[in-house]
Amino acid sequence: MFRRPSLGLAEIAWRWSFGFAAALLLALSFMEYLHTLPVTAGDLFLLRTQQPFLISQAMAHIFAGSGPRVVKATILLGLAMTVVWIAIAALCRSVTLRAVESYLCEEGIAGQGWRMGSLAGLNFLRVAAALAAGLGGLAAFLIAGAASPEGASAPGIAVLIFLTVLLLVWLAWAVMNWVLSFASVFVIAQGEDTFGAIAAALLLPRSRVGPVLAASTWFGLAHVTVFVIASSVVAFVLALAGALPPIVIFLGVLIVTLFYFAVADFLYMGRLAAYVAIVEGPEAIPVVEAAPPPVGSPSPITMQADERVDPAELILSDVPAPGPS
């Protein structure tokens, strides 16, 4: 990771480029949506009164009937950005993993293609898992609301149910996302297809649980450490909100957030490189201990001695000593 920092920088570059383009597209779409809202002279008059009730009436009249357009625009933008992300993520992941593979094993990718189809399939499954996790969060909210009796004075049970279901949904999504992310290594390293890479990602930790667990644990601890430090710095900056101008607070929070995302992407690329090294590394040869010989059987040394010495041959101890001259 530190010998080839360009890999981490490439990961940051493509992720941030896509994020900036998506944010710009959302902002332009929102501005275009605002231009389609009808604002009458009466609405302007109510907005200028600076009365909360009159302003709310004007806003309700302005946004009335615009809900279907928001839903259609959201679905269209979501589908477009999803398709673009699947294609761009597949291309960039192929480039970065091939670079790692060529650095660790120069002969590993000589006959392998870009495997764009398999990587796109994995990215599609990641999007499906994220969508399922979002629906699971909505289901947690509905289950908590249905389990809470009407007019209950203590909402603690509903909150506990909501947090429990949400935690289970998050754990399921985290495991699935890790498997799909790990499977991309086998697509480039071993030329597997989408489902073959998933099967390999599920089978490898069984044979190399130590290295996989060590890489995941150390990079996970590093990520948590960076998150705690960034959160502490953001909390300190927000505590100075009354003493500093708002623009300074906003820039401080933005810089810390961008720094956290950059380090997180760098660690993500380092973890993938560690997984590639584990996959391409030699398998551990099991050491078979020799079973002790059974009781009463001659030892190997005795057997070798018996084979070398003929019992019928006279040895020095059996030859009579010569008498005195």
* Mean of per-residue pLDDT scores for the chain: 81
pLDDT tens for each residue of 53-66: 888 888 887 787 77
Residue 124 clears pLDDT 50, i.e. is over it? yes
Task: Please give the average per-residue pLDDT across 36-48, as a whole number.
Answer: 80
Distance, in Å, from the CA atom of 5 to the CA atom of 319, rounded to the nearest integer, reads: 82
pLDDT given for residue 110 in this prediction = 47
Residue 1 has pLDDT above 80, yes or no: no
Percent of the chain with pLDDT over 90: 27
d(CA 226, CA 237): 17
Domain limits, the chain = 208-280
For residue 42, the model assigns a pLDDT of 82
Determine which of 138-152, 208-222, 244-258 has the lowest per-residue pLDDT on average: 138-152
For residue range 229-277, what is the model confidence (pLDDT) as tens digits?
Answer: 999 999 998 888 878 888 989 998 999 999 999 999 999 988 988 888 8
Three-state secondary structure readout of the chain: CCCCHHHHHHHHHHHHHHHHHHHHHHHHHHHHHHHCCCCCHHHHHHHHCCCHHHHHHHHHHHHCCCHHHHHHHHHHHHHHHHHHHHHHHHHHHHHHHHHHHHHHCCCCCCCCCCCHHHHHHHHHHHHHHHHHHHHHHHHHHHHHHHHCCCCCCCCHHHHHHHHHHHHHHHHHHHHHHHHHHHHHHHHHHCCCCHHHHHHHHHHHHHHCHHHHHHHHHHHHHHHHHHHHHHHHHHHHHHHCCCCCCHHHHHHHHHHHHHHHHHHHHHHHHHHHHHHHHHHHCCCCCCCCCCCCCCCCCCCHHHHHHHHHCCCCCCCHHHCCCCCCC
Please report, for residues 131, 154, 161, 166, 203, the alpha-carbon distance to residue 140 in angstroms, rounded to integers and kept in the order given.
14, 18, 8, 6, 32
